[in-house]
Chain A
Amino acid sequence: GESVGLHLPTLSVQEGDNSIINCAYSNSASDYFIWYKQESGKGPQFIIDIRSNMDKRQGQRVTVLLNKTVKHLSLQIAATQPGDSAVYFCAENAPGNAGNLLTFGGGTRLMVKP
């Protein structure tokens, strides 16, 4: 079945450096991916999304890259700040799933060192 997973459970970066969080998916028919950020004690917060007809999308300090050939996506955070410390989830709205049914990956904890 469809699954969305992450390569690394924890990522530690220096403040000011760029961060790259990776995510793999298994269903080649998946066509819509979303990144969420969850800070301690809070619910997940939408960051950015990308559809399969794109291979790159940029937001404020964030870029999502989608490589359909290897079924991989990544979230890049530029000039990482202490406020970026959180758990990051990739999620998939799998094909055939109408509505808001999202399948989440396991999450990567980003720790920003001052």
Chain B
Amino acid sequence: KAGVTQTPRYLIKTRGQQVTLSCSPISGHRSVSWYQQTPGQGLQFLFEYFSETQRNKGNFPGRFSGRQFSNSRSEMNVSTLELGDSALYLCASSLVWGTGELFFGEGSRLTVL
């Protein structure tokens, strides 16, 4: 069974641009969560989706948004990029909602110049 797939794996943007990251969960998993990982702040929860509905949102500005499609695939978008948005963005899926057993992808590493 294929794992969580995130694309692109690496990308470089400049300040003010926007970026869209994609996540394909494990087949059959309906819950998708997004986390930001930086050396300074560690792993921080962004948002999670279940059945195309955002169920929780972390403490990030409105420039960070996401959505989930009917096939459970998810995208997150960051608009008006800032230098501090440089990070590894991790997507995780789970079979059920309300579990701590998340299956993470390898992440999308975003560099903002």
Q: Which residues of A contact B98 (CB under 8 A)?
A: 98-100
**Which residues of chain A are near B100, meaning CB under 8 Å?**
32-34, 46, 49, 91, 93, 100, 102
Q: For residue B94, which residues in chain A have a CB less than 8 angstroms away from its CB? A: 100
Tell me the count of chain B residues lying within 8 A, CB to CB, of chain A. Answer: 27
Q: Which of B53-103 contact A (CB under 8 A)?
A: 55-56, 58, 90, 92, 94, 97-103
Q: When chains A and B are docked, how far (Å) is the Cα of A106 from the Cα of B55? A: 25
CB distance from B106 to the nearest CB of A (A): 5
User: Which has the most chain B C-beta neighbours within 10 Å: A46, A97, A107?
Assistant: A46
Are B42 and A105 in contact, CB atoms less than 8 angstroms apart? yes
Cα A101 to Cα B98 in complex, Å, equals: 8
Q: A43-B92, A89-B43, A104-B42 are in contact. Are A99 and B102 (CB under 8 A)?
A: no
Which B positions have Cβ atoms within 8 angstroms of A? Answer: 4, 31, 33, 35, 42-45, 48, 50, 55-56, 58, 90, 92, 94, 97-107
List, sorted by A's number, 8 A–B pairs whose CB atoms are closer than 8 Å: A43-B104, A44-B104, A45-B104, A46-B100, A97-B56, A100-B56, A101-B56, A102-B43
